[in-house]
Structure 1
Amino acid sequence: MSKDTIKCKYIFEEDYNPLYVNGAQGGINSLGEIIINFYLERNALPKSQTFSVENGKISKENIDKVEPKDLKNSFVRVFQNGVVMNYQTAKEVHKWLGKHIESLEQIIDEQKDKK
């Protein structure tokens, strides 16, 4: 018995560039679709810093002159992309991701056993 087959060709835009994410935020919208907004969480960067110059060389930063003042107690979440998917697609992505997580856990366990 022969099986019918179909080939799927993948098209990548010229500017395709995967991004690193370490978190997500989202939920269910009014249309019943799932929204996932991916972000990169990192320490906040200063808008400016003031340094003193001694003998033509920049010295260590003067913490009192970092803007904004609350920089030490700040972090940012940079949202660069997100996805909206329907229920069925979400289930398929969940299944696909679950399989890859199981494979990764197996690899991690094997590496632990080797140590």
Structure 2
Amino acid sequence: MAEKNKQIIFKYVHPTDLRDLYVNGLWGGVTPRGEIYAHFYSERHPIPKKTVHEIREDGTFNPSGEIETGGDAVRLIQTSIAMDIKTAIAFRDWLTNQINIANKRIDDGKA
């Protein structure tokens, strides 16, 4: 009888456009198909849509002027993910484990 393989090797392939993203919030829910969907965003003050400055007699302009922002805060969606419930549970368990490791490092003064 042939022996079953005792291991599997996964190769990790990184796309050339891979980038690290900083996020400080997320928004999402359950799709009509019962999958979990989340938009990860970074929140910040808005960049002005425009600024208007008075030009002085000497050709310089007043640094403070009219600013049009279009909102109080911006939530820039960095990426969105969708996953089935089985993957969401695995992600939750992995994330809980990482939180526990991070908290231990903080408690031990190593973070």
2:14 matched to 1:16? no
Partner-residue secondary structure (3-state), 1:58: coil
Match of 1:28 among 13, 27, 30: 30
Structure number with higher strand proportion: 1
Alignment of 1:6-85 (within 5 A): 6-54=8-56, 55-62=58-65, 65-68=66-69, 74-85=72-83
TM-score computed with the length of structure 2 as normaliser? 0.85
Aligned residue pairs total 105
User: What percent of counterpart residues are identical?
Assistant: 32
Cα RMSD for the two superposed structures: 1.7
Extract unaligned runs of 5+ from structure 1: none
Match of 2:101 among 100, 103, 108: 103
Within 2, Cα distance between the matches of 1:86 and 1:7?
Answer: 24
Structure number with higher helix proportion: 1
Deviation of 1:39 after TM superposition, in Å, equals 0.7
* Deviation by residue 1:31-52 (Cα, 9 ceiling, x = unmatched): 0100011111110111111123
